[in-house]
Amino acid sequence: MKRSVARARAMQLVYEWELGGDGGEDTKLGLLEIKPDESEVDYVDGLVAGVMNNKADIDAKIKKFAIGWPIDRISRVDLSILRVAVYEMLFASVPKGVAISEAVELANTYSTDKAGTFINGVLGSIMRGEDA
């Protein structure tokens, strides 16, 4: 499984968690059906745990840079994509440009036509704000 697939699975788990699901057991089972190796499962689990454990800090960044978009107005899919990407940008050793590019790809696959532009703008602002 490629990292991009792992990110998609992590986003789906975060989305299910956001909706008050069971922690994404169905998604985890779907992940296991593609027979990832242990490091890939660990990567997905690490992303999801990282988002959950740092949700307040992640959401604070999103609130600060998603100007005019309160968290409760952002679609749950877009918010899940943003949370995974912000976690990777701020807390993991993923290059910021890679996290942004992968998030835009997720948005283009799982969300609306305009979501990629929105997510790119928010994450680009976070990156510039962090580098300043």
Residue ranges of domains in the chain: 3-131
CA dist 40 and 46 (Å) reads 10
Is the whole-model pTM more than 0.85?
Answer: yes
Distances (CA, A) of 11 to 14, 27, 129: 5, 10, 24
pLDDT, position 26: 59
CA neighbor of 100 nearest in space, from 85, 80, 79: 85
Domain 3-131 has CATH 3.30.1360.70: no
Q: Taking the chain (132 residues) in consecutive chunks of 10 residues, what is each chunk's mean pLDDT?
A: 82 86 58 61 88 96 96 96 97 95 97 97 93 56
Helix, strand, coil percentages, rounded to 5, for the chain: 80, 0, 20
pLDDT, position 104: 98
pLDDT, position 69: 95
φ, ψ for residue 95, nearest 5 deg: -55, 140
pLDDT, position 40: 73
pLDDT, position 131: 63
